[in-house]
Amino acid sequence: MIEIGAQVDLSHPAERVWRALTDRELLGRWIAEAEMVEGVPDRLLLHTAGLPGFEANVEVEVTERQEPDLLVLACDEAGRLSELTCAVTTTKQGCRLELREVSTHGAWSAEQHEPREQQLRQALTVRLPAILDWLAFQQVDLRRADGGMTAELPLIGVRGRAGRNPRRRRTVVAVVAGAVLLAGTAAWVTLPPDSKPAAAPAPTTTASPTVTADRTTVAPTATASARPSRTTASATARPSRTPSAKPSRTPTSAAPPPPSAPSVTARYETESDRLFGYTGEIVVGNPGAAPVADWAVVVTLAEGTTVDDVDGANWRQDRRVITFTGAAVAAGGSQTISFDVRDSRPKAREPESCTIGGRPCAGL
């Protein structure tokens, strides 16, 4: 029995390392390209032919799986059999990954052993950390809502530059507000008083005694002399010669019926697949001219699959049926939903159906 082994301490959580071990696309970036073996759904083919220490491609089959701690693979390299154990142990800094390959039938030659072990060690210590760092960066959200990247950094005031004194800004605002207030007061003072009709003067009474023939004095008679008010209209207003407007004979047209609410669309795509699962993506689009708030995408998963994580929408699950809902989709905009699916079988199986508003999603 010949054994080849290597280990590395990683500053990443075990779940992220597990994804790098089981995602077919990621495997191709740090160890070897992988594809499903046609006709055998439980096997993968690693394209290792030509790599140092390998003479042919290697067929692998999962024999034991304990997520995210243990993955055991039975390997077949052109009739030479071995068992590859991947053990993940959580540490304070992240986790430790140990790979150990033991030959079970046949043996590697002396020329193969050292290059093979060196190839494995280089993959663990160089390429795998780079892939994990890239994955970590992909999981950092640099957006705020849907407004794009933000950079809200504090401004440092520089003399003569864009940094301004907030006190000075408040002073300028106060001066401008005071000027507006003074201008309004001056305008109020200089406005003419409201013109009201002048009250008519009280009639003046002139008393002139009247003497009769028998010299009897008679009580004076009051003579009222009232001045007409200057505000009295001088003449009776004549009726206007302008003819009154005749009603229009043009019939009024009925208001057009409100446009029907635009329907949203949806497109499904398998973003990436891996051993025992895949990541699906649904893009909800609104081609109309008004936002649509009431929408729902209904996905029916294959038997034996479950949703693990959802990003971009609210969701609820009823057995194999997943319903996604979310915020209003702006006119001409879109909303992307990403979800991870765990499959009980190594070969990833896409959803059985996907609909939005009763209409099938494109791409499935």
Determine, yes or no, domain membership for 159.
no
Domain end call among 84, 117, 138: 138
Is the pLDDT assigned to residue 143 strictly greater than 80? no
The pLDDT assigned to 309 comes to 82
118-122, 175-179, 293-297 — which is least confidently predicted? 175-179
Q: What value does the mean pLDDT of the chain take? A: 74
Is the pLDDT assigned to residue 245 strictly greater than 70? no
Determine, yes or no, domain membership for 26.
yes
Q: What CATH number did the domain enclosing 315 receive?
A: 2.60.40.290
Q: What is the DSSP string of 249-277?
A: -SPPPPPPPPPPPPPPEEEEEEEEEETTE
Please state the rounded mean pLDDT for residues 48-55: 88
The pLDDT assigned to 145 comes to 44
**Which pTM was predicted?**
0.47
Tens digits of per-residue pLDDT, 340-353? 888 877 676 889 99
The pLDDT assigned to 106 comes to 85
Residue predicted with more confidence, 223 or 91: 91
Contact residues for 56 (Cβ-Cβ < 8 A; gap 6+): 48, 49, 77, 78
Please state the rounded mean pLDDT for residues 316-324: 92
The pLDDT assigned to 290 comes to 92
Determine, yes or no, domain membership for 277.
yes
Residue 67 pLDDT level (bands cut at 50, 70, 90): very high
Residue 274 pLDDT level (bands cut at 50, 70, 90): confident
Tokens 């029916």 sit at which residue?
Answer: 300
Is the pLDDT assigned to residue 320 strictly greater than 80? yes
156: its two tokens:
């440092």
Is the pLDDT assigned to residue 263 strictly greater than 60? yes
Greatest Cα-to-Cα distance within the chain, rounded to the nearest angstrom? 172
Determine, yes or no, domain membership for 337.
yes
Determine, yes or no, domain membership for 255.
no
Q: What CATH number did the domain enclosing 108 receive?
A: 3.30.530.20
8 Å CB contact between 283 and 265:
no
The pLDDT assigned to 11 comes to 92
Question: Burial of 230 by CB count in 10 Å (0-12 exposed, 13-18 middle, 19+ buried)?
Answer: exposed
Is the pLDDT assigned to residue 65 strictly greater than 50? yes
Determine, yes or no, domain membership for 100.
yes
- Give the whole-angstrom CA distance, residue 70 versus residue 85: 7
Domain end call among 138, 158, 189: 138
Tens digits of per-residue pLDDT, 198-209? 444 444 444 444
The pLDDT assigned to 249 comes to 54
The pLDDT assigned to 164 comes to 43
Determine, yes or no, domain membership for 174.
no
Tens digits of per-residue pLDDT, 84-122? 999 999 999 899 999 999 989 888 787 888 888 888 888
The pLDDT assigned to 2 comes to 75
Domain end call among 138, 160, 183: 138
Determine, yes or no, domain membership for 74.
yes
Is the pLDDT assigned to residue 157 strictly greater than 80? no
CA angle 32, 272, 364 (to 5 degrees): 135
Is the pLDDT assigned to residue 163 strictly greater than 80? no
Tokens 């995408």 sit at which residue?
Answer: 297
Please state the rounded mean pLDDT for residues 158-173: 43
335: containing domain: 265-360
Q: Give me the number of domains the chain comprises.
A: 2
